Amino acid sequence: MAGRLLFAFVSSAVIAISGGGFTFVNRPVGAAYLVLWITYWLVQANRQRGEPSEFDKKQRVAYLAGAVYIPVLVVVPSWEYTHLNGPIPRDGPLALVGLVLFASGIIVLASAMRALGRLYTSYLGIQPEHQLVTTGPYKYIRHPGYLGEIMSMFSVGLSLSSIVGLALGVVSLGLVLVRIRYEEEMLIENFGNEYRSYMKKTKRLIPLIY
């Protein structure tokens, strides 16, 4: 956990520096964004690694993509926000929508992590004494944690009026959908009809829609 806490503050410092130093943090949107980014990583610091599985190994390409994706997401949109005049208006209603989306994503993610506890892991695998959780946000959708991740990642482009950020939001959606596919295969294999029954009662990411 200490390593992840350190990463939270280091990555946030990189955002501030790469985004133009004090120019970035002196803007209300930049300062609010930085606080939300720190909060996001502090929430993630509680995540356990867990025990991997064969399903985890199947998504190694997604892990490699994520290793490139995260640094780019941290550095480029904030630099773009400070240095470039893009086609999307900055510091207006769209930025406010992005910040609210970021905060909401963090709340959804934290609620999912609280519901799963030690079962919310970085590695994709069945943990010791693993039980199917269908309470809290899992009562309504099967993957609220991933929904929180998607909301947070899409918020970057909106908050900073960043074309690169919006494109990376699409990339994050693709990476999450790959993980969801393998995770559901794993859960069906381990929980069988119990998980199939749960699937019939819930949507994947958006209540009543998908």
Tell me which of 198 and 17 has the higher pLDDT.
Answer: 198
Nearest to 53 by CA among 159, 157, 161, 185: 185
Residue 180 φ/ψ, nearest 5 degrees? -60, -40
The answer to whether 165 touches 105, Cβ cutoff 8 Å, is: no
CATH no. for 2-201: 1.20.120.1630
CA distances from 75 to 60, 70, 79, 138, 160 (A): 24, 9, 6, 33, 12
Residue 148 φ/ψ, nearest 5 degrees? -60, -40
pLDDT digits (tens, 9 = 90+) for 17-69: 666 677 888 899 998 998 898 899 888 887 888 877 787 777 777 777 777 88
- What pLDDT is recorded for position 160? 92
Question: Average of pLDDT values for 96-112?
Answer: 96
pLDDT digits (tens, 9 = 90+) for 136-149: 999 999 999 999 99
pTM for this model (two decimals): 0.88
